[in-house]
Structure 1
Amino acid sequence: MSRGDDYALGRGRADSIRLDAQHLLWKLHKGYELHPRIPVTSDMKVAEVGTGTAIWIFDVARQLPSTVQLHGFDISDSQFPPKDLWPQNVTLGLLDSLVDPPESLVGQYDVVHLRMWASIPREGDMSSLISHVKHILKPGGYIQWEDADLAHQVIKGATALELEQHLNEILKRVGFDYNWVSNLPNLLRQDGLCILESESGHFKPDLMQLCTNTYLLALREILLGNKEMLAEGLLLSVEEVEVALYRLCSTNTNGTIYTWSPVSLLAQKEG
């Protein structure tokens, strides 16, 4: 049974541009798309759950043999590129990754890629997602995961610092819990997966602006999508926070930094 679509952000054209910009951010930060420790074979099958615009799938398809099968899954197809633009070895489809996978997908993939699940699900319980991914992996298959640790931010600038406390209050009101991201390696270990590599920290200075731009746009999407859920009693009204965030998004304020901490890992299912 599906748990439904609880996506906290938007799926319009501007939202898709933000996702594609975040792909560039990760690409510049890590220096690769598919982790270099993952062995490439001509008959391998690669999946991405929560594929969004499929920008990662499309990018990886350019670098791998044309015989590799790449499947992108999402609970919504509204951000998928038109089908006539898909590479021949790419398939995109609908899938709820927070429930057990269909039998046809069990044990099918050499690699499963995940990125930016920080706000899904809101309560921070990742057990369903991890179980799903583990089931669709082949024995010995790899998990490549990049995510945003929103509990450990780097924020500078008077306007940004003032806004932070109000946004944090709003995120807490609508039930977001980001503490699981920094604990991700332990969550995978508890599910019997082997952690081959784990990295956390901060973006280099030359990527701070790109992260700031995409993060502020994402926060604006979350705010717009959750206005009806917010009760009275905030230090500022939702409208006031929305205006302040819009101003921060609309201007290139010198010295303003509003970033999250990148977390990435490579894990393997026992053979």
Structure 2
Amino acid sequence: MVQNASEGSITSDSHSSPIQHRPRNYQKFPGAQYILPSDEEEKARLELQHRVLQRAISSRLIIPPLSLQSGDKVLDCGTGSGIWLTDLSKQVPSDVSLFGIDIEPRLFPTSELANMQFSVGTTTQLPTDWSNTFRLVNQRLLIAALSANEWPTVLSEIKRVLIPGGWVQLLEAKRWGTEKGELSVKHRKLLEELFASRNLLIDCSVQLPHLLKEAGFENVHVEEYKLPAGSWAGKDGEETRDNFINVFRGMKTPILNAGGFGYVDSEEGYEEWMKDMSKEWDVMEDTTVDICVFYAQKSA
């Protein structure tokens, strides 16, 4: 059962009583709030997501005005499956050192190149011996991972590990769905409650320019992109739809464990909601997923 947007909560106690369901595997890193799963299904989704995002930004892996040289070091925070680093390895000299860090090792590549290294850790506390090491730090879509009080810490840590004159590039979601679609509007309200319950910063894309400046970064730039989502936009739109609807499917366990926040009262109801929202995106031609790319420089 899914409640209509105009009807409010199902019951007052559904907000706190866990809803029985078949859970997927999730990270168990101490203190982490990340709300997406860590399994083979998610690994496949991350590969699709990489294609969708790269298509949106014209296949650019490096956004700032820099060209990596022999001996440079690159860090990918929240690397997931490492697909961004794997693609980058094909475009840079073989003696550029590539590092990936993530709280969940199950998604790491099963094999890695000689110049590629993956480690378990959190971007809120990068290794102390990494200070002034990297020419470029990449991080994307940690909207569902970092709390409001962690974002300043993360940006400070990234700045610390960059060499003077080095660059950070971030990519975050800003908006998704259609404001004309009942299911999309209701879903946004559900996610606002989920994120608030974990102190996650759902509007991080709006706050990041200020946060970057507060952290002491210079030359802060922002690029915004609208990704058409739904079958109305052809194959590209279908891939964008599939990726992001599957993001929301991956949030099923934290939503249902919290009792559904008054919007849903069963696993079947949640799955049906996702199917119906996918159909809504297919027929509403203003449906997009909006992303923001940020890049900024550490002072020389």
TM-score normalised according to structure 2 size: 0.78
2:221 maps to what in 1?
197
Give how far 1:111 is off: 0.5
2:166 maps to what in 1?
141
Match of 2:109 among 81, 95, 99: 81
CA pair 159-213 structure 1, distance change in 2 beyond 3 A: farther
Q: 2-side partners of 1:38 and 1:173: how far apart?
A: 37
Instruction: Kindly indicate whether structure 1 or structure 2 has the higher relative contact order, using CA contacts under 8 Å at least 6 residues apart.
Output: 2
Match of 1:23 among 20, 44, 50: 50
Query: How is 1:1-271 mapped onto 2 (pairs within 5 angstroms)?
Result: 4-31=31-58, 32-35=60-63, 37-82=65-110, 85-99=111-125, 101-123=126-148, 125-149=150-174, 152-155=175-178, 158=181, 160-161=183-184, 163-164=186-187, 167-168=190-191, 170-172=193-195, 174-175=197-198, 176-204=200-228, 205=233, 207-230=236-259, 234-239=262-267, 241-248=269-276, 254-255=282-283, 259-271=288-300
Contact 1:217 1:249 in 2 (8 A): no
Per-residue CA shift, 1:62-107, capped at 9, x if unaligned?
A: 110101100011111110011xx212211111121112x2221111
SS in 1 for 2:107: coil
Q: Please, which moves more after superposition, 133-142 or 117-126? A: 117-126
CA pair 239-159 structure 1, distance change in 2 beyond 3 A: farther
Q: 1-side partners of 2:130 and 2:195: how far apart?
A: 36
The one-letter code sitting in structure 2 at the alignment partner of 1:89 is N
Aligned residue pair count: 264
Per-residue CA shift, 1:223-267, capped at 9, x if unaligned?
A: 223422236x61442536413234247869741576431100111
Q: 2-side partners of 1:57 and 1:198: how far apart?
A: 22
Give how far 1:3 is off: 5.4
Q: 1-side partners of 2:94 and 2:195: how far apart?
A: 45
SS in 2 for 1:148: strand
Q: 2-side partners of 1:78 and 1:226: how far apart?
A: 23
Unmatched runs of 5 consecutive residues or more in structure 1: none
The one-letter code sitting in structure 2 at the alignment partner of 1:146 is L
CA pair 248-170 structure 1, distance change in 2 beyond 3 A: farther
The one-letter code sitting in structure 1 at the alignment partner of 2:296 is A
SS in 2 for 1:164: helix
TM-score normalised according to structure 1 size: 0.86
Give how far 1:174 is off: 3.3
Give how far 1:168 is off: 3.6
Q: 1-side partners of 2:273 and 2:76: how far apart?
A: 32
Measured on the aligned residues, the alpha-carbon RMSD in Å equals: 2.7
Contact 1:169 1:234 in 2 (8 A): no
Unmatched runs of 5 consecutive residues or more in structure 2: 1-28
Identity %: 21
